[in-house]
Amino acid sequence: MQAKDTLLQLKIMKKLLILISVLLQMTQFAIANEGLHVSGFGNLGLVYSDSENYQFRTDISKYDDKMSPTQVNWDAISNLGIHFEYRVNNNIDAVAQFFYRGQDSFSFDDYTNLAFLRYRPTANWEIRAGRTALDIYLLAEYRDISFAYPWAKVPTEVYGLIPHRSLDGIDFTYHDQTQPFDYRIKFYTGHSSSQIGGLDYKEALTLEELFGVSLELSQLNWLVSIKHTQAKIDDNTQSTQLLTDQLNRIPDALWQNRESFINGFELAGKSARYTSIGARYDFDPLSIIGELSHLDGDSSIFRKVNSAYISTVYSLDRDQFFYSYGFTDTDTYRFEDQTLRLDLLPLETAQLIFAINESSNYFSSSQSTHSIGWRHDLSDNLAMKVQLDRTFIDQGGGSLWFFDGFLQTSPKEAVTAVFVSMSFTF
């Protein structure tokens, strides 16, 4: 076990060294080239949680091969990004961003967060093609850029269930100033891929035929945003496919509704919809930020999830103090189909029912969190943050956390988590 850990650490160090050398070479190229602008951002943070059952993760794209025995996690909120902008002329520029947040593979694709060409025919119109940030919720585009917000992390209740970060496609934006507000409307389309995972496993989840619209109305001291995105899930995840294959073996005579059940269960070709309404209002020295989000889909796995948060931030010159409350609520799924003749089937069928319940509750998060915290800007580009979370997890509702066991048996628990981080830009 120890040899395996050492090997893993060596692999991670090797990847980091390769990444740093690539970044250094790119920076040297940038210095030699006047049209190129290089900048970056990062966060170094640790998370401590007092639970022996649950371990913190930012979202469901994170997976792990084991629970940390010390309950202290350095990987959860630490990251590093480097950002390149190349101005071709007054109308065209190119942007590329490479981002490390603990990915365990080293493909160029996995580390490329942004890579697009932008054409601005006028000051009002903008067209971008390539890989852009997925503008699905209010903070989604900059959820990993810790220096951009006062909290140590974005509210997990809303952002924890969204593993997708980028969109491969095209977007069109129109923005203008009117009285009494500015407005910005964006249409985007393409596809998006991500991993979803937990303890000991990870699977690919790709959204195809993704279409979305984002409308923002703003003044300097307020913002209202409404966003809606819909997409088709391209295929079953590996575990869903395995389970579907097993269910298909049950004869029609012993399960009349088999076909319609499988049709409602599997992910392939099913629609997923994301809607959010968010707002921010600043009345110096206070700011209020809040968002309501709704996720649903046509599969029993991708069911209705309502979540929200509200945060009050008190700003002094270099300090920000905040209190936030967030919640997410989903009904727990229980398989109920009287047409399945369990009495005539082998005992192992009960395990399939257990697996259906487990899969269908993957997105069933049910919890609420109170957070208090402090951000202190040590310099113009360096901030220190401390945050204390108290999360109340409902029974079977712990899917936002790493849990060493079956989700449907995850216990009700109140977890305290402490976040300490240094975030920076350069």
User: What is the contact surface with other proteins in residues (CB under 8 A)?
Assistant: 37, 39, 41, 81, 83, 85, 87, 90, 93, 95, 97, 114, 116, 118, 120, 122-124, 128, 132-133, 141-142, 145, 147-149, 175-177, 182, 218, 220, 284, 315, 317-318, 377, 379-381, 383, 425
Q: How many CB atoms lie within 10 A of CB 89?
A: 7
Question: In the structure encoding, which two tokens stand for residue 242, read together?
Answer: 């395995």
Q: Distance between CA 251 and CA 356 in Å, rounded?
A: 18
Q: How far is the CB of 157 from other proteins (least distance, A)?
A: 20
DSSP designation for 30:
H
Could you tell me the smallest distance in angstroms from the CB atom of residue 29 to other proteins?
18
Tell me whether residue 65 or residue 109 sits nearer to other proteins (CB atom).
109
Element at 1 (helix H, strand E): none
Considering the complex, state which of residue 58 and residue 97 has its C-beta at the smaller distance from other proteins: 97
- Asked whether the CA dihedral 280, 144, 364, 70 is positive or negative, the reply is negative
Helices and strands (H and E) in the chain: how many: 6, 19
182 vs 296 by CB, closer to other proteins: 182
Q: How far is the CB of 369 from other proteins (least distance, A)?
A: 22
Residue 188 dihedral angles phi and psi, to the nearest 5°: -140, 150
- The CB-of-376 to other proteins minimum distance in angstroms stands at 10
Listing DSSP states for 171-231 in one string gives EEEEEEE-SS-EEEEEEEEEEEEEEEE-BS-EEEEEEEEEEEEEEEEEETTEEEEEEEEEE
Phi, psi (rounded to 5 degrees) for 226: -125, 125
Residue 253 Cβ vs other proteins, minimum distance, rounded to whole Å: 56
Contact (Cβ atoms closer than 8 angstroms) between residue 419 and residue 47: yes
Nearer to other proteins among residue 234 and residue 282 (C-beta): 282
**Is the Cβ of residue 107 or residue 122 nearer to other proteins in the bound state?**
122
Question: Least Å distance between CB 371 and other proteins?
Answer: 18
* Cβ-based nearer residue to other proteins, 229 or 399: 229
